[in-house]
Structure 1
Amino acid sequence: DKRSLRASVTSELVLDDVRLTEDAVLPEVVGMKGPLATLSEARFGILFGTVGSARACYEAALDYALEREQFSKPIASFQLTQQKLVEMMVSINRGMLVALHIGRMKDAGTASSEHISFGKLDNVRMALEVARSARSVLGANGITLEYPVIRHMNNLESVYTYEGTNEIHTLILGQALTGIPAFS
């Protein structure tokens, strides 16, 4: 009974004393090279998925703010609501630019795993902040399933962890910046 990524099946896979024949092994893949390449591809996809989740939260908040009235006017007319909407939009566009830039680097063959770690770290943080801000605009309705915000927020909490936690990406980037590994 999970509250996040509810459309996907979560399972445990246990392999014990498994031996593969030569023809069942990926050619030219030695050690962790293959699995890590797959992990990097999954992380790259997260760069864009988080932007989509953030965008859905922003759009729900904007629509709600334009429709919901307090004191005989839409809450979108209030300064703090407008500030939240602007900050969400700016953050989403920044996240899209990060994803687009890293995507272009990937197409050119110049993107490293560190670039992708940076994008995953930053875009997940951004999307979570947008979701939280959108939830705030919706008030008590922000935690209901009538609106998509809480669903995206819960899913983003999982994305924060899978394909490498923010702490792991921080260590990867710390090593890239300093040249000193903080883990062995």
Structure 2
Amino acid sequence: MTKITPQIRRAYAMCAEALVIGRVTLDTVDELGLNADMPVFTVSAAADLVDIHPQTLRQYDRLGLIVPQRTPGGARRYSLRDIDRLAQAQHMSQDESINLAGITRVLALMEENRQLKRQNRLLRRRLEGNLVFEADADGEVIEVQRIRRTRERSPYRRTILQITAR
């Protein structure tokens, strides 16, 4: 695991708080360029964010409801995706009276639906021709969104064209 700077940790904490209160979604997290799967939060930090007892988080892990990543020493670390799932589970349990088996199924369906919507958006962008391919720093081929620029008509355009034609 990589070391996370205090500034990045604060940004992720603010984003987690926004996820919990429903101001942003995981799709927004993706659009912001944050890694929703980066293990950032300890058990106590995750419990504080979602207002769940830390022992409940450990129980969810044992049951396979929300399984956080582990440090090399075995400590649990929760990601933004985990925080979102915890907030959803808390809501379903407390406000909707859904049992843990039901919560597990609903969370799986919600994630499947989110992934399908994401794939749909990517396919629509491909159809619209807004994607191009390029290589990332490791040489892997990645898709990037093409930015279409409109030509602005400025009063200086003719002068600039005349100067460049000389």
More helix by share: 1
**Larger-Rg structure:** 2
Normalised by the length of structure 2, the TM-score is 0.30
Flag the structure with more relative contact order, 1 or 2, with Cα contacts below 8 A and sequence separation at least 6: 1
Normalised by the length of structure 1, the TM-score is 0.28
More strand by share: 2
